[in-house]
Structure 1
C-alpha cells in the first residue's frame, strides 16, 4: 500500500504532493526519479503515468507461467512502477498477484486497485471485496472500482462504508464499452468519485468527446484501459515505420507512440497496459520518460494514424 493512512487523514496531512514511486533502476531506462507522474485531483497524490493491467495474470497454479509473470512484476517494481489494476473477473489474477506480491515483498510500495461487479451491490459487494482482500493478501485497497457499472449505486455505498473505516482509500467506476458512456456520464455527474477508468486510444477516441472533459470539470482522476485497442492497433500500424517526428517527444517504438498519445491528454492521469514479459515492461515504461506530446503534436498523431 502506498500510504498507510486513510484518505481523510491523507487530506488533513496535506501530503498530496509527495512522490510515491518505488526505488530502483533499470539498465535501459533512466531511474524512477525521472518517471513522469501526474496528480490524483482529489488529493494531489502523484502516480506514475504508466501502471500495470493484469487481465492476463489469471494463470492459476501453473508454476512456469507464474515464474514469467514474477520476473515481469519484479521489473515493473524496479523501474518505479506502483499502480497495479486487477479484478475478480480476471480469472485467478487476484490470487496470482497476491502470491507474487507477497513473495517479492513489495506490497507497501504499490498502489493496488481492484474492482467489484456484483448485482445487486450492497452486501454482495462487501462479500466480494472481502474475498479480494484475502486473495490479494492486503489489509486495505488503494482503489476500489465498480466494474462496468454493475450494481453501481449500492456498490458505491458499500465502498464508502469501507472507505470510512480505512479499508479503501479511493473509489471509482469503470467501463470499456462505448454503449455505457451515457450511463457513465450520469454517474460521474451525480456521485462523488476519485477515479474513473475508461477505454481510450488512437483507434477509439470517443471518450475525449464528453467523458474526459467531464472528468477534468469534476476533478476526477482518469485511468485509461485498452490504449492498444486490445492489440488491434498493432495490426493497423503493421510494418509501417515510426514517423521521424515521433522522436520530438521521446518515442522509440509504436507502443510508446500509442501510450504517449493517451497519457498526453491533459485529463488522463495514467494508462494501464497489460505487461506479462520483461520486454513489454521496458518498452511501455519508455513512455513514462521524456516529454509528452502537446495538443498540436497529438493532432499530428491522429492524422498520421488515420492515414495508415
Structure 2
C-alpha cells in the first residue's frame, strides 16, 4: 500500500489496506451521473492510484464496473498495487428482475466470470453480496473456502510410492459478507474466518450499532473488519442536494422511502449540523462524515464512491481531519436525533 494514505488492518489477522476505500458502484450510473464513460472512469482510477487510494470495491451486479477495473489493470499493468474487492450473489435476469443465489455452483461460476471481466487471476476480497433464503450459509462459505486454496495432487513415478500433495494459491484471498444477520456472520465464521463485513454505515444509518441487530458487537468479538458503504448518506450529507428534485430523473435515490417525504427536511437539518462542524476544520460536510465514520473504530473502513476527481481527493483527505471526542459525540447526538422511518431501498 502507498504510504501517502493511512492504512487500517482488514480484520484481526488480515492485511493492511488504505483507511478509506473507493466504492465503484457509481461506474454503473445508478446515481444518474452525466459522465460515467469508460475514459472518465479510467481517469478516476488513474488518480486514485496516484494519490495512494488503493482499496477498490466493486461487484458483478455493478454493470460495467468490473470491466472498467479490468481495463485499467490491462492498461496500467499495476494490478499488484491494488487491494481488490468484488461481490457475487445478486443475479440479474434478462427481464431486469433480480434474484439472490448463494448456491455453491453459482459461487464458482460467478467467481470465474468476475475474474474474466477483471482480467486477473485472483480476487483479494470476495463478498457474499446478499444472503438467499434457501442455501445454508455453511455450504456457500465452504465453496468459497475451496476457491481460496486449491489442492493439487501429483502422482509420483511408479518407482516411488504414494502421492505427493502440493497446494497453490487459489482464486480468492479473503472472504467477506454483506448485509446479513449477526447469526449468519457467526455461522459463516465458524466454517472459515471472515475478514470483512460490508454494511451501510453513516450518520444517517446506524442500524449496525443497535442491540437489536448485534452486528457491530459480533464483528468486534470475531475480529471482523467493518467496511462502511454509503458513508456520506448516499451523497445527501454532502450538502450538494437541496431537494430530491435536484437528482437526475433516473437516479435510484428518488424511490428510496427512507430518503423522501417528511424525512428529507430532517436530513437537511442534519446536514446543517454537520456543516457547522466542518467549518471548524476548514473541511467539507462529506469529509466530516467520513472522519466521523472512521472515528467509530480502527476496525471501520469507509468506502465512499464518486465519479468526480475533486470529490475523490476530498474523500481521501478526510483521514487527515481529527475530530475531537466532543465533536464525535456531538455528531452522534445529531445523528441519533435524525432517526428516519422507512426502507433503505426502493420497493422494486
Q: Is TM more than 0.5 here?
A: yes
**Structure 1 equivalent of residue 101 of structure 2:** 119
Matched, 1:153 2:138: yes
With the length of structure 2 as denominator, give the TM-score of the two structures: 0.70
Q: Distance in 2 between matches of 1:159 and 1:80?
A: 29
- Tell me the SS of whatever aligns to 1:56: helix
**Structure 1 equivalent of residue 15 of structure 2:** 45
Contact 1:216 1:267 survives alignment (8 Å): no
1:69 to 21, 30, 41: 41
**Higher strand fraction (1 or 2):** 2
2:331 to 292, 301, 305: 301
- Tell me the SS of whatever aligns to 1:173: strand
- Tell me the SS of whatever aligns to 1:72: helix
- Tell me the SS of whatever aligns to 1:240: helix
- Structure 1 pair 125/44, CA: closer, same or farther in 2 (3 Å)? closer
1:143 to 125, 138, 163: 125
- Tell me the SS of whatever aligns to 1:68: helix
With the length of structure 1 as denominator, give the TM-score of the two structures: 0.78
Q: Distance in 1 between matches of 2:198 and 2:17?
A: 15
Contact 2:9 2:299 survives alignment (8 Å): no
Worse overlay, 111-120 or 277-286: 111-120
2:6 to 31, 36, 45: 36
- Structure 1 pair 284/120, CA: closer, same or farther in 2 (3 Å)? closer
**Structure 1 equivalent of residue 272 of structure 2:** 240
Matched, 1:211 2:215: yes
Post-superposition offset of 1:154: 2.6
Matched, 1:90 2:62: yes
Structure whose alpha-carbon radius of gyration is higher: 2
Gaps of 5+ in 1: 1-19, 22-32
Q: Distance in 1 between matches of 2:175 and 2:64?
A: 23
Post-superposition offset of 1:232: 3.2
Gaps of 5+ in 2: 90-99, 151-168, 242-266, 339-348
Q: Distance in 2 between matches of 1:99 and 1:69?
A: 10
1:54 to 21, 24, 27: 24
- Structure 1 pair 91/297, CA: closer, same or farther in 2 (3 Å)? same
Matched, 1:169 2:173: yes
RMSD: 2.7
- Tell me the SS of whatever aligns to 1:149: coil
